[in-house]
Structure 1
């Protein structure tokens, strides 16, 4: 496809949803530019952006006269529309499982997301964080239980080769790792493996430059 790509991201570079799309594009090897959107200022509600994105959500991907919001939809579009490494397993059942993982970490575990915010993944807290409340502890236990069943004991990826679900599961687990909460060694190693990928570190670099 010849139309240039523009990715609209959050201006602080801490959104897991914008980061997922960035990682997907980078892993796919697609050339794109970025436009940060200041969510704190409410720029996502500006009429021009709402007209562009349809739902006023970040991220949004624009290609010529086509604009798409909702990160899961964008990732699937990128995987289907562009050549390059696959973002999902080719096996139908594994691909369905990957999408299940994505949907789960996006819609469940709300108490954990609230008490271990995305921000701590990029700027480690100077002081120890408060202990998790019972609701967040229950969410953490569920996360560790499910991840423990999914992540291979001696493997780097869920399905043999990297896929976008690896990033999204690791991002959720990293809320605990970065928060100093107890995480089994195999899952901590899995998080570090995913966080060290060049696509992920490129995003981290944007955050660091924005903070400087």
Structure 2
């Protein structure tokens, strides 16, 4: 293992959307880091050693020297403040707040989508049955919100690319990559985000065959 000042703990099958968000942030900033996969099914995130690092015992967790931080949006916000040379959030305070709003929404709402369209759909090609009525309602909320945010078909949410674009594209891809009905403009938006080299670096991590 290299002696990078940064270590990022992620899930060993590389399907956590939150680990992806931090991984992309680190890559976009050009920061060297060691990637440490944990087998969540084997409860490696519940060991005493990891509990000393991560107060939440979750991935992603970032370690920098004697400083450790969990929860993806907290990590990406910290990295943007600690390493400001390449921003992953909008510079304008109001747009920055809106980017954080998008992240908070995607993490706290739309649970039926996350339950019925796991990221195994996104990263491992798993196909799931039709959405339940409650998940269809959540999908309509997602699509409506995304179309409002992307009115006028901009390349990115807030002018320049931000990490919120990756988070939104991933949520949309839960539906798109399962073949669910998503408007063409949102499909095109998600595909644009997916082509970023930093995103492709995560997408192309080795995973088990289902």
Q: What TM-score does the superposition give when structure 2 sets the normalisation length? A: 0.95
Aligned ranges 1:33-112 → 2 under 5 Å: 33-112=34-113
CA RMSD of aligned residues (A): 1.4
Q: Secondary structure at the match of 2:32?
A: coil
Q: Give structure 2 stretches of 5+ with no counterpart.
A: none
1:169-201 superposed Cα distances (whole Å, 9 cap, x missing partner): 111011110110111111000000011110011
Equivalent residues of 2:110, 2:138 under 8 A apart: yes
Paired with 1:69 and 1:92, the residues of 2 have a C-alpha distance of 24
Q: Secondary structure at the match of 1:203?
A: helix
Q: Secondary structure at the match of 2:204?
A: helix
Map of 1:211 onto structure 2: 208
Residue 3 of structure 1: how far off its partner (Å): 6.7
Matched pairs, number: 207
Residue 211 of structure 1: how far off its partner (Å): 2.7
Q: Which moved more, 1:2-11 or 1:67-76?
A: 2-11
Equivalent residues of 2:12, 2:39 under 8 A apart: yes
Q: Secondary structure at the match of 2:68?
A: strand
Paired with 2:45 and 2:85, the residues of 1 have a C-alpha distance of 31
Aligned ranges 1:118-137 → 2 under 5 Å: 118-125=119-126, 129-137=128-136
Q: Which moved more, 1:77-86 or 1:5-14?
A: 77-86
Runs of 4+ in 1 over 3 A off after TM superposition: none
1:109-150 superposed Cα distances (whole Å, 9 cap, x missing partner): 10111111111101223xx53111000000000000000001
